[in-house]
Copies of this chain bind each other. A is one copy, B any other.
């Protein structure tokens, strides 16, 4: 999950100056309107590893926002007053009123994570705690409190360097930062902490209160990203309040358009090295070998007790069909099905959106190949506005649940994103349009979609970040070179089958 955070995210001084000026102005405007409307309150939970700069972010927000309607909600070890009451009491006590913004350090997630990392609570208690958090946050949301959750990420090595520097500076600087994890010592313990944190982020990322994981290595980028998230949330809340005069639940609001990108986005999909290509001479031989291995593995005795689900998503004309054909050729035709997913039938429209995929799930020993899939909800349906923001936001959790149900039933789930560049897509579209035999493959709609490249890229990135589960990870496939892509797809299948079956 959230692997894109490991990409370089940087702003130089000039970029930062320009962006921050614009952000400040808009933030103040949005905050003012939010305060005037008094329809909702907002709590921004700032979490992350020590050395990621939680305190610095807090200071920056005070600098950029109007501090009259801002509150800091900061929690350390419980005070005597707090110990004498239920654990949740201190958060309730400090609940900001409508129109106000609370900036929270050391909130409810932190306490749970801390206890788990210290071994004070069991895995089961941890999980129950996470579920309780979800219930509380859902209730808060229903009660008009917008919960925004930020996880600031830095690599452990960077964090350690920063902390060492802080410690050298002695008491002076130390007072200026909150050091929360001081009792978690040693690389081993910290690694464990990271694993628990990932688990927490995964299990408490809900439609009503999703996590945003933000790269915090570069302080300028970090601050701008948090501010931008806050701005988007405030603007959405204001738009909803404006629209929602009669109904308690707001109408779906349009996504912020990518035409107004406040911040250069680091993009997993955009950062792929699309110059990668296969060795043309070796191609045929390698392909044969890989297909042979897939064939062996999927007819083995062990595979009879397993199932295989292959998901192909990607840009239009990225070569999904060609890749699927190469995989299919290696499979026993009695034991696989390819499902091309286009517009749903009437039958399917009459049921929850996951139903059309459930009906095509393979039985054990079989393989189902999905040419496009349930991810349509968070890609095309999101970008084209076929469903509301609430609907596609909750879809991430629902899809993760769905895939967990598969993997728990011993189905191996392998997901591919086939990526090509805009130039390559144009070339392929043009060549298709020229060749009568391929012309059916290119439609008006393809050209229209191409016009929304940035929105699709953003949707793809968020999809990968939010559904890259441990048991069902994404494989990104550089596909400007078709041969390279096909070999990578087959190789991934072989590796996963070898490792997990």
Q: A41-B350, A97-B350, A409-B86 are in contact. Are A132 and B401 (CB under 8 A)?
A: yes
The answer to the question of A182 belonging to the interface, with a C-beta cut-off of 8 Å to chain B, is: no
Residue of B nearest to A80 (CB): B363
Contact B394 A139 (CB under 8 A): yes
Q: What chain B residues lie within 8 Å of A85 (beta carbons)?
A: 307, 361-364, 409
- A368-411 vs B, CB cutoff 8 Å, 1 = contact: the mask equals 00000000000000000000100100100110010001101101
The answer to the question of A285 belonging to the interface, with a C-beta cut-off of 8 Å to chain B, is: no
Q: What chain B residues lie within 8 Å of A131 (beta carbons)?
A: 131
Closest CB in chain B relative to A471 CB, distance in Å: 13
Residue of B nearest to A395 (CB): B139
Q: What chain B residues lie within 8 Å of A135 (beta carbons)?
A: 397, 401
Contact B352 A145 (CB under 8 A): yes
Q: Which of A89, A247, A351 has the most CB of B within 10 A?
A: A351
Question: Contacting A139 at CB < 8 Å: which of B87, B93, B124, B398?
Answer: B398
Contact A351 B248 (CB under 8 A): no
The answer to the question of A359 belonging to the interface, with a C-beta cut-off of 8 Å to chain B, is: yes
Q: What chain B residues lie within 8 Å of A81 (beta carbons)?
A: 363
Contact B139 A351 (CB under 8 A): no
Closest CB in chain B relative to A314 CB, distance in Å: 26
Q: What chain B residues lie within 8 Å of A364 (beta carbons)?
A: 84-85
* A149, B327: Cα distance in complex, Å: 45
Contact A361 B86 (CB under 8 A): yes
Q: What chain B residues lie within 8 Å of A247 (beta carbons)?
A: 247, 249, 251
Residue of B nearest to A122 (CB): B124
* A142, B388: Cα distance in complex, Å: 12
Contact B84 A363 (CB under 8 A): yes
Contact B351 A41 (CB under 8 A): yes
* A139, B363: Cα distance in complex, Å: 24
Within 8 A of B (CB), among A119-153: 124, 127-128, 131-132, 135-136, 139-140, 142-145
Pairs A-B, 3 closest by C-beta atoms: A143-B352, A86-B409, A92-B358
